[in-house]
Amino acid sequence: MTQLTDSAIDATLTALDRCDSCGAQAYIRVTLASGELLFCAHHGAKFKAKLAGQAIEWHDESARLQETR
C-alpha cells in the first residue's frame, strides 16, 4: 500500500514489537490520527476492514512469515 522510504525501512518491526490484542509478535503497524496500533498477522487481518477507512498508514510486514531461509 505504501512506498518504502528510508524512514519506513528504519521503522521495521522487530521481535520486541508486540500485538496490542494478544501480545504475539507484531507484523502490522496501523497509524491513526490518534496514535499507532500494532497487530500480529491474525489480528491485523481481523481488524483491517474496520480500520482501513481511518488509517493514515497501514504498514504490513506479514509477508515475512512466508519467507524461507
- What tens digit of pLDDT does each residue of 10-44 get? 689 999 999 999 999 999 999 999 999 999 999 99
Residue 56 has pLDDT above 50, yes or no: yes
Which positions ≥6 away from 27 have C-beta within 8 Å? Answer: 13, 39, 40, 41, 44, 60, 61, 62, 64, 65
- What's residue 67's pLDDT? 74
Q: Tell me which residue has cell 525501512.
A: 9
What's the pTM value of the predicted model, to 2 decimals?
Answer: 0.80
39 to 14, 56, 65, 68: CA distances (angstroms): 12, 16, 14, 22
Q: Which one has a higher pLDDT value, 8 or 65? A: 65
- What's residue 2's pLDDT? 44
Residue 3 has pLDDT above 60, yes or no: no
